[in-house]
Amino acid sequence: MKDLDFPLFKTKSDEYKKFDLSDAKSRQEYFEYKAGPEIKKLREYFKSNTFIAYLMGKKSSGKGTYAKMLAEVVDKNAIAHFSIGDMVRSMDEIIGDPEKRKEMVAFLEKNYRGFMPLEDIMKSWDNRSTKTLLPTELVLALAKKEISKLGKKTIFIDGFPRDIDQVSYSLFFRDLIGYRDDSDVFVLIDVPTTVIDERVKYRVICPLCQTSRNLKLLATKNVEYDSAEKKFHLICDNSSCAGARMVTKEGDEQGIEPIRARLEKDEMLVKEAYKLQGIPKVLLRNTIPVGQTKDLADDYEITPEYVYQLGKDGKVETIEKAWEVKDDTGTLSNSLMPPPVVVSLIKQLVNVLGL
């Protein structure tokens, strides 16, 4: 990320041992090998403590993936990932149900304190324009209601703050939900725009089962070549699917262009949070400059890129190589798989919590 110093984090092991990061069992063994002592400290901490973490990064930077993987590795009963965006979208169903709507209005009449009249808020919801009209005070009231259902857990909040005024609000969020004595942590994520662009641009879905893959970054077992189109296509390999040709979702071919303004705003918010004093920060970066990759990471920790070619027998051959992209400063870099980023998250959390 331009103008910010996100340090490089070494996950390369002194003694090389290879793991299959796509396999749950092997992935757990990987985490124990790479961060076993730190995982043990966090498990002990969670027996009697909790904290609030704010996940901040560009849209599609992996916030939910990292939080859910941390819970999977450390203690899924002690950690919850809470998405503000998912919460707002789930309200559509509530607002459309007369009984649930009545209950929600009654709750907001007691708990919402803001400048926009509640009647106007409900009208904006009916018009599905909540993304631009929901005031911060309403988001906080709804979040308090939903978080109360989770019980007392460490919560990774995804999607808040979403605006400059909410950065300062977030510092008092733990008080609002009854976590007054807990620590709060900003988890700031640096993922280059080019990485997000290619994740979107090469994404394909199965028209039958809606399974998602990526032509460049997440290949299926079966690939076919269309000689008329002169294009390679992934064939869905979901075991419960008939195996249809996967297609590009409408709009994805534009990459990040439809969300460029959102990404720029997200980056600005990360920079504002970075400057805040008095709150511990975990700094996660997704890339390593190509020239330093071998010193900092093991080969299987690097995101692979898949390239296809037709063999002499006419069958498609899939070639795997290390994915190279330019980061936001123009430096040619390798992108990390999610697990090594989570290793960095685990070790930095132990540090900022003083364990």
Q: Which residue from 313, 316, 306 is spatially nearest to 223, judged by alpha carbons?
A: 316
Average pLDDT, integer, range 113-135: 74
22-41 pLDDT, tens per residue?
899 999 999 999 999 999 99
Q: Which of 102-106, 214-218, 281-285 bottoms out in mean pLDDT, i.e. has the lowest?
A: 102-106
Note whether 304 and 323 are within 8 A (CB): yes
Q: Indicate if the pLDDT at residue 13 is higher than 70.
A: yes
Residue 108's pLDDT is what? 87
Is residue 219's pLDDT more than 60?
Answer: yes
* pLDDT of 273 strictly over 90: no
Between CA 1 and CA 193 the distance in angstroms is 9
d(CA 60, CA 212): 14
CB atoms within 10 A of CB 153: 18
User: Count of CB atoms within 10 A of residue 72's CB?
Assistant: 15
Which of helix, strand or coil describes residue 318?
strand
Q: List the end-to-end C-alpha distance of the chain, in Å, as a whole number.
A: 29
CATH architecture of the domain formed by 24-78+153-352: 3-Layer(aba) Sandwich (3.40)
Q: What is the mean pLDDT of residues 41-69?
A: 93
Structure tokens at 193: 């725009």
Q: Which tokens hold the place of 182?
A: 């807990």
Summarised one tens digit per residue, pLDDT across range 234-246 is 999 988 888 899 9
Residues contacting residue 29 through CB under 8 Å, at least 6 positions apart:
19
**Residue 46, both tokens:** 């969670």
What token pair was written down for 92? Answer: 């559509």
Query: For 260, what's the count of Cα atoms within 13 Å in the CB-facing half-sphere?
Result: 6
Using alpha carbons, select from 22, 273, 63 the residue that is nearest to residue 164: 273
- pLDDT score, position 342: 97
User: Among the listed ranges 17-21, 122-126, 281-285, which one has the minimum average pLDDT value?
Assistant: 122-126
pLDDT at 44 over 90: yes
224-to-43, 75, 125, 156, 307 alpha-carbon distances in Å:
46, 41, 45, 41, 13
In the structure encoding, which two tokens stand for residue 103, read together? Answer: 């209950």
